[in-house]
A and B are shown apart, each in its own frame.
Chain A
Amino acid sequence: DAKTTQPPSMDCAEGRAANLPCNHSTISGNEYVYWYRQIHSQGPQYIIHGLKNNETNEMASLIITEDRKSSTLILPHATLRDTAVYYCIVYMEYGNKLVFGAGTILRVKS
Chain B
Amino acid sequence: NAGVTQTPKFRVLKTGQSMTLLCAQDMNHEYMYWYRQDPGMGLRLIHYSVGEGTTAKGEVPDGYNVSRLKKQNFLLGLESAAPSQTSVYFCASSQSNEQYFGPGTRLTVT
Interface residues of A (CB under 8 A from B): 34, 36, 41-46, 49, 87, 93-94, 96-103
Interface presence of B48 (CB below 8 A): yes
Select one of B41, B50, B101 contacting A45, CB under 8 A: B101
Q: Are B96 and A98 in contact (CB under 8 A)?
A: no
Interface presence of B94 (CB below 8 A): yes
Contact-residue size bin, chain B (C-beta under 8 Å from the other chain): 20 to 34
Please give the distance in Å from B5's CB to the nearest CB on chain A.
11
- Docked Cα-Cα span, A49 to B42, in Å, equals 19
Q: Are A101 and B42 in contact (CB under 8 A)?
A: yes
* A41: nearest chain-B partner, CB-CB: B104
CB-CB under 8 A for A43 and B103, given A49-B98, A93-B97: yes
* 13 A-B pairs (CB sep. < 8 Å): A41-B104, A42-B103, A43-B4, A44-B99, A46-B97, A46-B98, A96-B33, A96-B48, A97-B48, A98-B43, A99-B59, A100-B44, A102-B40
CB-CB under 8 A for A94 and B42, given A41-B104, A42-B103, A43-B103: no
Interface of B is mostly: strand
Q: Are A96 and B90 in contact (CB under 8 A)?
A: no
Please give the distance in Å from B15's CB to the nearest CB on chain A.
25
Question: Considering residues A42, A43, A44, A45, which has the most beta carbons from chain B within 10 angstroms of its beta carbon?
Answer: A43
- Docked Cα-Cα span, A45 to B98, in Å, equals 9
* A42: nearest chain-B partner, CB-CB: B103
Interface presence of B45 (CB below 8 A): yes
Q: Are B101 and A44 in contact (CB under 8 A)?
A: yes
Q: Are B92 and A43 in contact (CB under 8 A)?
A: yes
Q: Are A98 and B45 in contact (CB under 8 A)?
A: yes
Q: Are B43 and A100 in contact (CB under 8 A)?
A: yes
A93 cross-chain contacts in B, Cβ below 8 A: 96-97
A34 cross-chain contacts in B, Cβ below 8 A: 98
B:28-81 near A, CB below 8 Å:
31, 33, 35, 40-45, 48, 50, 58-59
- Docked Cα-Cα span, A36 to B99, in Å, equals 9
- Docked Cα-Cα span, A41 to B94, in Å, equals 21
* A94: nearest chain-B partner, CB-CB: B96
